[in-house]
Every structure is written in structure tokens, then in C-alpha cells.
Structure 1
Amino acid sequence: MRWRFNLHPAYRGTGARITFIASDWSEVRLRLPLSWRTRNIVGTIFGGSLYAALDPIYMIQLMRGLGPDFIVWDKAATIRFKRPGRSTLHATFRMPSAEVESVRKDVLEQGKIERTYSVVLVDGSGLVHAECEKVISLRRA
């Protein structure tokens, strides 16, 4: 699945690559290098690449965890650029099974809910370069 994801034109264009997907999609890791494809006019990683690399992951994790009886949509996003990306950046998305079950329970009880998730892009030494917050809308199909 990781290879198929990386070859998809929309994701491939971000310059990022998925490096790991847990069999249950509870964890996804990605790498975003500084390269000719991601470099902006001032020589750092383009902000669009930073966001686009992160954009679909939480939605897909929830879709995979909840199955076809639920509708999952990205509703809003905020990204905060903390420092320029001058090297390869990494992000780790975690969606524990307890969170998926909590979402399932809340949707079944309330009909429609929103959840907010955060992820950071860090360099090799752990310095945060960008913080992204995603608001996901969920309901029964």
C-alpha cells in the first residue's frame, strides 16, 4: 500500500514519501526532503509541499479504521511555519485503536462529530519546522 500511495500523482507531486504504514494504519510516517522538486525561491522547502505532505493522512487513517459505514471528510486545517525547512523533514501520524473506537462510539451516539488532530514536521535533530492542525468531520454513511 505504501508504494501505491507514493505513486499516486496527487501525493507524488508533494515531494514527500510515505516511509511506513502500520498494518492497521494506526501509524504512518513520512519523509519530506529538500530537493529540486520541493525547493522554493529562497532555497527552503516550499510551504505548499509542507502542507500537502501532511494533508490526507489523518482522513485516510480514520477511513481505514472506521470502514465503509462512515463518511470522513477534511473540514479545516491550520499550518504554522516555525522555521524554514533546510533539510529532510519527518512526520509521524498516530491513530490508536482506542481513538478510532471513541470516534465510532461518538458518531453512533451523536450522528455527526468533528475531531481535531495535530502533527509536526521535524528535522533530524527533532526541531519542529511546522505544526499542522486538521479538523475532520465524521458521520454515518
Structure 2
Amino acid sequence: MNESWRTRLFRHLFNLWPSYRGTGGRVRYIADDWQEIRIEIPKGWRTRNYMGTTFGGSIYGACDPMFAMILIQALPDEYAVWDKAATVRFKKPGTEDLYARFRIDDDELAAIETALETEDSVDREYTADVIAADGTVHATVEKTVYIGHDD
């Protein structure tokens, strides 16, 4: 799926937003239906820690808002979406550029809307791997996201 001019514009603006820019991460792609976001965490002075590998805070910070952003954009405006909890499992030091892909499919969006027909709110858990270009997993980010009626 391609980016639309709107998601491309949003991507550029998001990368300029000070709190995201400070992570050192870069949003590289937003699907036109908002159901997929891809990021890059370049290896460089902004993301390097004392040991010369990718700073864990850069990894988490670059990944932090992505599942919530997908849900905010892909679900109707009547729902409130908030990050509720997160876990990062570091598996291997990052010594090169790192990448992550965040995706929520139609079935998951439908399941959320169905659950909210009878519940005031739901918590959903999502996982994304942070990988190198060769596919080596360097970290796994798990996010719990709250979705409720915006009353």
C-alpha cells in the first residue's frame, strides 16, 4: 500500500515534532489507510549511548507512539486512545541502523469496535520487533493501549 499525500505530509511534520525528533528516530512510511507505520533508528551521534551502541531510550522513544497513532487515525473519532503500559526487551546491542514496522489489520480494528459495543473500554496489546537490515532482532517492544468511548 502506498502513502497518500496526507500521510506523507503527516510523516514529515511528525519527524519535525520536537518530542519525536529528540528520539533520533525517523518515521519512514505511513500507509494511506493508517494501518501501517515504519520507522528507522539511524546509528549516529543522536542515538549512540556511552558504549557506542544504540541507546535504549532512543529505541523505546522512537517506537512509543506508533500503535496509538495507528488507532487514533484508523478508528472513528468517537474513541479515546491512550498508551497504558510498555515493555522493552533488549536482545542484542544495536551497532547499525535499526528498523521497526507497526501494523494493525482490519480484523483487529473490527474486533475493537465490536468489543466497544458492549464495553466502556478495552485494553489491547501489540508487539513490534526492532530489527537490523539483515533481520536480526535487537529489541521487542510490547505496548498496552487503552481504547474507550470519548465521553
Name the structure 2 match of 1:41.
Answer: 50
| One of 10, 18, 28 as aligned partner of 2:27 | 18
Q: What TM-score do the two structures reach when normalised by structure 2?
A: 0.91
**Unaligned runs of at least 5 residues, structure 2:** 1-9
Tell me by how many angstroms 1:67 deviates: 2.6
Q: Deviations for 1:39-85, whole angstroms, at most 9, x for unmatched residues?
A: 00000010100100000000010011113200111110000000001
| TM-score, normalised via structure 1 length | 0.97
Q: How far apart, in 1, do the equivalents of 2:147 and 2:80 lie?
A: 6
In structure 1, which of residues 85, 102, 105 is the aligned counterpart of residue 94 of structure 2? 85
User: 2:25 & 2:106 partners in 1: Cα distance?
Assistant: 26
Q: Aligned partners of 2:118, 2:20: CA distance in 1, in Å?
A: 34
Worse-matched range after superposition: 83-92 or 61-70: 61-70
Q: How does 1:1-141 map to 2 (within 5 A)?
A: 1-141=10-150
Give aligned pairs, total: 141
Q: Gaps (5+ residues) in structure 1? A: none
SS of the residue corresponding to residue 49 of structure 2 reads coil
CA root-mean-square deviation: 0.7
Identity rate, percent = 43
Query: Which stretches of structure 1, 4 residues or more, deviate above 6 A after TM superposition?
Result: none
